Amino acid sequence: MIIMLSFQEVVIAQNIGMLLNNQESNGLEKIYLHTDRDFYFFGDTIWFRAYLLDGQSMTPDTDLQNLYVELIDNQGKIIREQVILCENGLASGNMMIPDTITSGPCLFRAYTDYLRNFGEDAFFYKQLRISKMKSSFDIEEERSMVDEEEGINVSFFPEGGFLLEGIQNLVSFTAIDKRGRGVAVKGKVLDSNGSAVSIFRTDYKGMGKLFFIPQKGELYTVEIDDHPTFSYHFDDIKKEEVKLVMLEQDREELTLEVLSNAKRHSRKRYYVACFSRDRLLFYKEIVLRGTTKVKIETDVMLGVSFT
């Protein structure tokens, strides 16, 4: 079972109750896009297959719908966009990568007209990485250069979805080669003066984690040892925000922590809510006072009871 944890400020107290009483009519569509790869070169074509599912039953959506697919560069600019017909929950397509796109990470995004009603948070997103190479057909001729300079893709995942300024953040990461296999890497996070604020290395099959405290007004980049052309920047650093992270998990309960770096959020009421397939399983109201811990029993997560 896949559980989604949501954290929202209380605006209207009846909102959670309305979800409980009207769950059958509040299911969202779910979009999943499978791409042939996660790592591409200039001039390559992204081949993809789309699945449009009912949010609760996870069965294919039987309606004919337009599916909007977009390629977005690391500046937030839409580089390519398509509209394809989704029939019986399935659609396929391809999108050529122009040589005008900026090298580095980019986003592959998909949505329907219906999902537009719920904002961009309801869209499907997948991160891809684009290389400077002209075309993947050049790999065989320039294999040594690819292996030494462009042969890895390292992705970073801040816990809670973003970084908070002024407090310690946990960031997970994965490193894969051009065939999608986990690889061992080590590197460092550098501030704008080139000083290392965190040193990291993979622990198991290309996976690892690092900790660091983003400071006000600083810019942070990542260097990977033995891969001088690798480039990554931590851009999504929040000056004043709240986020939800997981501390511990065992057979009996989950322990969550609510983190904030802004006094303006103190003493406000929030809901911590648990969803599965768009069905609300559990919610709890809390008043934020600095760092706040929330415990949830696992039988609640399985829908056995509500607290």
CA distance 302 to 282: 10
Split at pLDDT 50, 70, 90, the class of 133 is low
- For 27-138, the fitting CATH number among 3.30.360.10, 3.40.50.12780, 3.40.50.300, 2.60.40.1930 is 2.60.40.1930
* pTM greater than 0.85 (yes/no): no
Domain 27-138 shares a fold with domain 151-238: yes
Residue 300, pLDDT above cutoff 90: no
Split at pLDDT 50, 70, 90, the class of 149 is very low
CA distance 268 to 81: 41
In the DSSP assignment, the letter for residue 28 is P
**Tokens representing residue 213 in the block:** 């405290």
Sign for the pseudo-dihedral over CA of 258, 262, 289, 268: negative
Query: How much is the mean pLDDT over the chain?
Result: 80
Split at pLDDT 50, 70, 90, the class of 236 is confident
Does CATH place domain 151-238 in 2.60.40.1930?
yes
pLDDT at 277 (0 to 100): 62
Domain chopping of the chain, boundaries: 27-138, 151-238
Q: Are the C-beta atoms of 82 and 47 separated by less than 8 Å?
A: no
pLDDT tens per residue across span 164-221: 999 899 999 999 887 778 899 999 999 999 999 999 999 988 999 999 999 998 999 9
Among residues of the chain, what percentage have pLDDT more than 90? 33
CA distance 304 to 306: 7
**Tokens representing residue 80 in the block:** 């390519």
Q: Are the C-beta atoms of 152 and 187 separated by less than 8 Å?
A: no
pLDDT tens per residue across span 274-286: 776 666 777 778 8
Strand 163-164 with 237-238, pairing: parallel
